[in-house]
Amino acid sequence: MELLQTLLATLVALGVLVTIHEWGHYWVARRCGVKVLRFSVGFGKPLWMRTAADGTEYAVAAIPLGGYVRMLDEREGDVPESLRDQAFNNKPVLQRIAIVAAGPIVNLVFAVVAYWFLFMSGISVVVPVVGGITQNSPAAQAGVESGYEILEVDGHKVRSWSEVNLRLAARVGETGNIELLMGEARRGYAHSYQVAINEWQVDLERQSPLAALGLEPWRPDFPAVIGQLLPDGAAARDGLQVGDRVVAANGEPIEDWLHLVSLIRKSPEQTLQLTVERGGEQVTLTLTPARRTLDGGQVQGYVGAGVAEVEIPAAMQRTLSYGPVEALSNGFHKTGQMIGLTLDSIGKMIAGVISVKNLSGPITIAKVAGTSAASGLESFISFLAYLSISLGVLNLLPIPMLDGGHLLYYVVELVRGRPVSEQVQMLGLRIGMALLFSLMALAIINDIARLF
């Protein structure tokens, strides 16, 4: 069932974003008088096709990892004299620029609309109150105290952990001070901390910027109650059931879920005598955690069990909701912030500040799509907005094969007054193909590495 949900979420996400991207090219091409031969969502053999009265073919193809709009073009075949004025290559350079840029721009506009909708309907967030400070971390060395809300990061107001992480992510690889304003807004108390960083390195694949700085979010107390079980896990095998509350292990009282997890991790393939409360009675069970080896050779025990959900107190939650105009303004601001962060991350990856291990491919996209869909409509729309921004920004990069590569050629043509030679375009195409296929291969390798 989970696999089916992941597949459906991925197909919906890619289908929506590819369709609006190609629709951008299609709509502007039609406005510019270019004859569109085919509008296809997906590559490969068409699974469905319909031909409209104007001769345009609309298709859904077998490989849902992209799409294309095929336009009449003399460079791709003979064009009848009567249709030459409808060929893409015969249009003025400004119109060609508009047609090529329309796809990525529509992706960015979609993100603005998605964020506008979320801000209009209201986004539920957890108040960014610090629950703990990691020893010897940058935050600990700066004297940051737990129990207070983060009000600002580097002078920018933040109202959720997501906003805190985004502000911190923008400082990865930098040297200087991260300014945190913390306190209790209702009581008017605030204190500024200067957290020193020096070429701040964060393994974004394994930890968030928040954790790397040494800040632990406040969390409610989680009693040691079983909320979910893997059917092939040690916990299910040894008789634990959903709803069981573990009160003791080997005669030692279990304080909370984290205490139980710590004990299990320290006990790979060791027998634990558990006392659990079940239906008002106490039951004794024998549990033997399985053994697994982590990166670096560390050995841990695990049992394939998850904690039961605990309701977060109303005081620790807030809803970010705005009127239509303010929501639209916030939608533009959020989209701009994500565009800036994406470009900043690409630049830092090229400079070697951020590891290329952070590149993600279709497997990771599918996993995130499934997880966000399972978390609800708000989470899924937010994921669509972020993925649409990534698609728009990446397509605008000046790399041959991408929209940005074509835009580069047309801008050069606009400046020089004549097209870039076919020899140069073919060379650029080969370079672009090599670069894109290399990046794609690296992203897929990273995806596979994460699975194991």
Tokens 């003025």 belong to 92
Strand segments (E) across 57-206:
57-71, 123-126, 130-133, 149-153, 156-157, 176-184, 189-197
CA–CA distance, 300 with 238 (Å, rounded to integer): 18
Tokens 């990061």 belong to 153
Tokens 């345009």 belong to 56
Phi, psi of 215 (to 5 degrees): -100, 130
CA–CA distance, 295 with 258 (Å, rounded to integer): 22
CA–CA distance, 406 with 88 (Å, rounded to integer): 13
- Beta carbons within 8 Å of 293's beta carbon, 6+ residues apart: 299, 300
SS (H, E, C) 326-394: HHHHHHHHHHHHHHHHHHHHHHHHHCCCCCHHHCCCHHHHHHHHHHHHHHCHHHHHHHHHHHHHHHHHH
Could you tell me the two tokens for 144? 């940051």
Is 74 annotated as catalytic?
A: no
User: Considering 2, 22, 76, 216, which one is annotated as catalytic?
Assistant: 22
Tokens 């809300």 belong to 149
Local structure of residue 225 (DSSP, 8 states): B
Compute the radius of gyration of the chain from its Cα atoms: 27
CA–CA distance, 95 with 31 (Å, rounded to integer): 10
Strand segments (E) across 52-100:
57-71
CA–CA distance, 211 with 206 (Å, rounded to integer): 10
- Tell me which residues are annotated as active site: 22
